[in-house]
Amino acid sequence: MSVMESVDVVVVGTGNAASCAALAAKEAGAAVLLVDAASEDDRGGNTAYAGGQMRVAFNGVDDLTKVIADLTDEDIRNTDFGTYTASEFFDDMARVTQYRCHSELVEYVIDNSLDTLVWLRSKGVRFEAAFGRQASKVDGRMKFWGGLPCIVWGGGAGLIDALHARAKKDGIRTLYETPAVGLLRDANRVTGITVLHKGETREIRAKAVVLACGGFEANAEMRARYLGPNWDLAKVRGTRFNTGAGLRMALDAGARSYGHWSCAHSSCWELNAPEYGDPIVKGAYQKHSYPFGVMVNADGNRFVDEGADFQTLTYARFGREVLAQPGLFAWQVFDQRAIPLLRETYRIRQVTQVQAATLEELASKMEGVNADGFLKTMREFNRAAPADEAPLNASVKDGLGTKGLALPKSNWARPIDRGPFEAYAVTAGITFTFGGVKITTNAEVEDDAGRPIPGLFTAGEMVGGLFYHNYPSGTGLTCGAVFGRTAGRSAASFAKSM
């Protein structure tokens, strides 16, 4: 096999984690090469599809001004940004993962979250305040909720453009359409990767390798094998290139499998969305305003507590719940109390939507749904929901739940009785998988004995042990940036020690 390149650090992938690793390794003095299975047009993996929200621990607006350059004095005067302390961030991670997340890795992410966003800014990433998504007007002032005031300008695609512009400026080269297919090893360490390049298997020799090439969400066979029946039928919300190749390479090299392999991040996604993410529509297929309505299945029954928590803390497990329903679909139903609050993703052209003046008429239009079952569900729900006239407010869990239902709706429950009504058909869209390999806080990949495999580092979706059962929104990019940056630094330092 011929040697194609020889570098200090080769980074596999061009998404958030890979780009951060490449920039950090370069900053530390290493010669760096990026390789991606995708073409240049399709670069950036799932990151290019992301909304761009990044969860960060902060102690007040002064911390945010270090990240968001464009905050004006007027913004600061008219907005309650609140705080999101490290312990609140940790509590959210612990609670949603049912206290299984690896505390040391999570603490590392949280403690480095603010500093990493500031570093991203220094690399040319522009952040803005997520007024449109995470704030609402309370007593005449905008109030943020949920630890998510920071969003990348231009979303995930903007993040990729900024990081790659900087990589180019730093002289980092990228080989596209060059999938990594294996790791090279000698007796002591990982010595590079094998790639497919223009139909030939070639070697890229490196003193250190960073694998940042995503989970197995785009691999139907692995989804069925690890996540279970019908997961092969889920829609993929993002890139088609994350097929688990990186995980397989790491496991073959002796990496310790870690985390929740039988679970994934998945959310309510337009029923007729294409098989993989659409680079134009991107995340707009998502349907996350269910806390203000109800979701029913083919039998017309509700199947989740739509108001269990803020949507940012429930949406990543509700795709799984939809996938478990007969026919693998659900309808989200809203009345005039909720319709003004629906996110912009409900207003795109590519929606499966029906409207009707009455619930009876709506029932007849919701394809695949048992009308009698649905109307019975709505009668019971409307009797159980408090007839409170206070407007629905997304920024607080209002505690107004149903009374006496076997399956409650815990917050934002109101009778759904003000026509005209709207309903939207959804299925499960998988975002990324939770199973991965175990790393140290230096992003070194551990073997089964818990020892670092010399020369092998990883970051991003390939890291196991961060997410179990569920996920707080905006954490994927933050974890990927923190461990990507760390992997780059560690790989450069390892390469230097060779």
Nearer Cβ to ligand FAD, position 282 or 409?
282
**CB of residue 228 to ligand FAD, shortest distance in Å:** 21
Which residue type sits at 62? D
Asked if 421 contacts 427 with a C-beta cutoff of 8 angstroms, the reply is no
**155 versus 401: smaller Cβ distance to ligand FAD:** 155
As a whole number of angstroms, the distance between CA 310 and CA 62 comes to 26
How many residues bind ligand FAD (CB under 6 A)? The answer is 47
d(CA 109, CA 372) in angstroms, rounded, equals 49
Among 58, 432, 457, 494, binds ligand FAD (CB under 6 A): 432
Burial of 252: CB neighbours in 10 Å, binned 0-12, 13-18, 19+: exposed
User: Is the separation of the CB atoms in 470 and 316 below 8 Å?
Assistant: yes
- 22 interacts with ligand FAD by CB under 6 A: no
Residues 6+ apart with CB under 8 A from 363: 300, 369, 371, 374, 375
Question: Least Å distance between CB 177 and ligand FAD?
Answer: 9
Nearest to 178 by CA among 9, 2, 12: 12
Helical ranges in 123-200 per DSSP H: 131-134, 155-169
**15 in contact with ligand FAD (CB under 6 A):** yes
How crowded is residue 454: how many other Cβ atoms within 10 Å of its Cβ? 18
Q: Which stretch binds ligand FAD (CB under 6 A): 6-14, 103-111, 369-377, 446-454?
A: 6-14
CA angle 413, 415, 420 (to 5 degrees): 120
In the bound state with ligand FAD, the residue whose beta carbon lies nearer, of 463 and 495, is 463
Residue 400 vs 459, nearer CB to ligand FAD: 459
Closest approach of Cβ 432 to ligand FAD, in Å?
A: 5
Sheet containing 135-138: order of strands = 79-80, 141-144, 135-138
Per-residue CA distances from 274 to 42, 47, 235, 239, 281 (Å): 16, 18, 7, 12, 10
Q: Positive or negative, the Cα torsion across 16, 18, 24, 27?
A: negative
Tokens describing residue 312: 């940012």
Residue from 239, 312, 345, 352 touching ligand FAD (CB under 6 A): that is 239
Q: Which positions from 45 through 64 interact with ligand FAD, judged by CB under 6 A?
A: 45-47, 49-54
- Which segment (110-118, 209-217, 448-456, 485-493) binds ligand FAD by CB under 6 A? 209-217
**How many CB atoms lie under 10 A from the CB of residue 213?**
31
Binding span for ligand FAD by CB under 6 A among 56-64, 113-121, 207-215, 391-399? 207-215
Interacting residues with ligand FAD between 28 and 47 (CB under 6 A): 35-38, 43-47
Among 109, 480, 482, 490, interactor with ligand FAD by CB under 6 A: 480
Site for ligand FAD, residues 179 to 198, rule: CB under 6 A: 179-180
- The site string for ligand FAD over 436-475 (x = CB under 6 A, - otherwise) reads ------------------------xx------------xx
| SS3 state of residue 75 | helix
Pairing type for strands 330-334 and 294-296 reads: antiparallel
Of 283 and 488, which has the nearer Cβ to ligand FAD? Answer: 283
Per CB under 6 A, 311 contacts ligand FAD: no
Dist CA 262 CA 229 (whole Å): 11
Choice between 113 and 402, CB closer to ligand FAD: 113
Nearer to ligand FAD, 179 or 465 (CB): 179
Residue 306 is a binding residue for ligand FAD (CB under 6 A):
no
Q: According to CB under 6 A, which one of 192, 238, 464, 465 is a site residue for ligand FAD?
A: 238
Q: Determine, following the binding rule CB under 6 A, whether residue 476 of this chain makes contact with ligand FAD.
A: yes
Radius of gyration of the chain (CA): 23
CB 42 to ligand FAD: min, Å: 7
Binding site for ligand FAD (CB under 6 A): 12-18, 35-38, 43-47, 49-54, 156, 179-180, 212-214, 237-239, 241-242, 245-246, 277, 282-283, 431-432, 460-461, 474-477, 480
